[in-house]
Structure 1
Amino acid sequence: MQYPLSPDVKPEFCTTGSFMRLPSKRDGARLAILGMPFDTAASFRVGARFGPQAIRQASMLLFPYNPVQGLYPFEETHAIDIGDLSVIPHSIQRSYQIIEAAVADVLRQGMVPIGLGGDHSVTLAALRAAAKAHGRLAVIHLDSHTDTWDTYYGEKYWHGSPFIRAAEEGLVEPSRVFQIGIRGSLNHPGDLAASLDLGYNLITMRELRQRGVAAVVAQVKERIGDRPCYLSFDIDFVDPAFAPGTGTPEVGGFTSYETLEMVRSLTGLNYVGFDVVEVLPSYDPVQVTALLAAMLVYEFASHVALNLRARGEAWPVPAVPEPAPAFR
């Protein structure tokens, strides 16, 4: 791949279809992006199967250098994009098998996966693969919903149940699971009690606002320590004024700026996987949701690059001349 990736190399609107035009293969890759376009476990709006490609399209606006973290996230990780997995639209169990196998393969090759959903049900399959590779996981779950509802019309596997199933299957360490940003109306008080009964740390959006991000992030870091950690981000964590393109929006969330600052502050954890889910392009007419999701992927990759740097394992960045200013 020619470096740097900038408009004077290839116009932003000329896409290969991958995230930031990343290759599908590269020697020594330590990060892999993969689409998990399954959405038929959703309870309200469907269409998140088109989320991965919308996020990739929006990523064309991003440049390679992250000035906040001071690194080139995709070069220092030699990142690749392996494309969308061939999920089975009418079968969640067969789709789980496909997703789990693909994530397991990424992990076996020494790469950290970043999954692009799809509805939130896909996270369970990724957690299965990560737990087999690393043991019981710590989890940072940023969402407006707990997703610990047991059944929906008698079905145990849907986008509202991945985190109750993860506990039942022993994939996570409950005391090191943080569900942050929870808000909205409920059927009954038990909707929140279900997470607490599992032993999860539940921090509502109201508590997050009252305590402040710094205090909550400090608690997360202290409790998780160096345990293998998976970060799952439901785009409805963000207020729908800033991320309207999602299936079950809840008002009263963070702005896009606040969201990015919080994610950036979650440095120093032993990340073994990430996902961003529930991006629904048909409700995102000006691409603000997809662009925010692409920025989140960018920040997730930056966390991986920071960890590689700390271990002395980051790929060196080629020396390049100062580029000419980019005009848009």
Structure 2
Amino acid sequence: MAIHGHTPEPSLLSLPAMLLLLLVFCAYVAAQTQEYLHPNILDVTKEEWHQKYGKQHDMAFTGPLSFMHLPYAKCLEDASQPFDIAILGLPFDTTTSYRPGARFGPRSIRAAAPGGGKAYTLAWGAGVYDFGARLVDCGDVPVTPMDNAKAIDQMEVAYSTLLARPVHGATKSYTASMAKDGLEHPRIVTLGGDHTIVLPILRSLHKVYGPVSVIHFDAHFDTADVGAVIGPERISHGSYFTIAAEENLMTNHSIHAGIRQKMGGKTMVEHDESVGFAVISSEDMDDYGIDAVIQRIRQRVGTGPVYLSFDIDTIDPAMAPATGTPEAGGWTTREVKRIMRGLAGLNFVGVDMVEVAPAYDHAEITSFAATSIILDFLMMMQADSPPASHVTV
């Protein structure tokens, strides 16, 4: 129909045709972009390796460096991997008093961890995956080696961040009953690092659980009296428990195990008691036996939330030489592993392995010892009670 005597010109393309043309153009651009970004998209199932060998699992000595080939994620940047128990490295060693080098501990421990399988052992009658928890290696916290105060804050913030993550769902239900907020919280196996890392960890745990009891395996008290010291030097790998006690992060039901250090006098023992610790010396193993050691630890910490900290120098330097302050006369790796089995069922909210300094190692024996004990940690934290002996007498 003409308007004012003018006849409209016919459209070159209808609207549907124009939309179709636009869609075709977009598809073409997308295809070209994909080809530009990924010019060699191949079907690996048609390649020679896959056709001959198929999908192969990594060997113990191959593949990405994660603990026991666990799923790996940089959890502070990637929250897509839920977990019940996380492996977390804190490569910090700038508050040591003797030999540094424990910043390389997380790497050496992971390298010594066995790959594949379930880590089933006769001692436990189970493997680390048999209890149902979701295990993830969360990598290392990028801790600065230039500023101790900043490093300690970085470790606390990182630990608190992961502690606040939702659990995957297979963790033990008691964690909710002990937490202030009544919620389930994941648990962390920390790879040190020197022993100072325990202070930021206890600060983080205190936000969730309040004061916790500590089982401290070590050749040394780590409760140095720093009352007269002013400034950042107050915090070191020999004084962090004193600081933690000042901040009310621990109960007075904590306990040392494996102590054999040289002391300046009885006043050190008295100060240690004031911090809240009882003591099991290295020699007590000989005098009272391993079962008595286990029972004393269990009685001391009771049924509340428990944190276990393990300095590799607990073990005699003949079997674990790679540590910052070695002391002769320590326990054997086998004795320590037996104690870990005896502690299963306590209310562990976290554990650590510290002071592995691989520069002083020989044939990686210290890292292998640390890894083996960590496997016990993973089962100890999940088991409801110590395992029964597999031997019938």
Could you state the TM-score of these two structures normalised by the residue count of structure 2?
0.73
More strand by share: 1
Structure 1 Cα separation of the partners of residues 94 and 129 of structure 2? 31
1:153-192 per-position Cα deviation (integer Å, ceiling 9, x unaligned): 8620010011111111100001x10111110322222222
Change (3 A) 1:62 1:150: farther
Give the 3 Å change call, closer, same or farther, for CA 222–61 of structure 1 in structure 2: same
Cross-structure match for 1:70: 125
Does the 8 Å CA contact 1:74/1:301 hold for their aligned counterparts? no
Aligned position for 1:29: 83
Query: 2:120 aligned with 1:86, yes or no?
Result: no
Structure 1 contact 35–116 (Cα < 8 Å) conserved = yes
In terms of Rg, which structure is larger? 2
| Aligned mate of 1:223, from 300, 319, 337 | 300
The one-letter code sitting in structure 1 at the alignment partner of 2:235 is Y
In structure 1, what is the Cα distance between the partners aligned to 2:349 and 2:325?
Answer: 27
Q: How many residues align?
A: 302
Please tell me whether the aligned partners of residues 255 and 300 of structure 2 are also in contact (alpha carbons under 8 angstroms): no
CA distance in 2 between partners of 1:193 and 1:286 (Å): 40
1:297 to 374, 377, 385: 374
Deviation at 1:63, TM superposition (A): 4.5
Q: Identity rate of aligned residues, in percent? A: 37
- On the 8 A contact 2:88/2:138 being kept in 1, the answer is yes
Q: How does 1:161-240 map to 2 (within 5 A)?
A: 161-174=239-252, 176-240=253-317
How far apart are 1:28 and its partner, in Å?
4.4
Hey, what's the Cα distance between the residues in 1 that align with 2:313 and 2:295?
23
Gaps of 5+ in 2: 1-55, 74-79, 166-184, 386-393
Cα deviation 1:55-78 (Å, max 9, x = unaligned): 000003674233222333146321
Tell me which of the two structures has the higher relative contact order, counting C-alpha pairs closer than 8 angstroms and 6 or more residues apart: 1
CA separation in 1, counterparts of 2:360 and 2:63? 23
Provide the alpha-carbon RMSD of the alignment. Answer: 2.2
Change in 2 beyond 3 A, CA 1:184/1:63: farther
**Distance (whole Å) between structure 1 residues aligned to residue 324 and residue 236 of structure 2:** 13
State the shift of 1:257 in Å. Answer: 0.9
Q: Distance in 1 between matches of 2:129 and 2:359?
A: 29
C-alpha separation between the residues in 2 aligned to 1:306 and 1:100?
28
Q: Which residue of 1 aligns with 2:200?
A: 125
Query: Quick check: 1:95 aligned with 2:170?
Result: no
Task: Check 1:223–1:153 CA distance in 2 against 1; reply closer, same or farther (3 A cut).
Answer: closer
TM-score (structure 1 length as normaliser): 0.87
1:323 aligned residue: none
Q: Which amino acid aligns with 2:118?
A: P
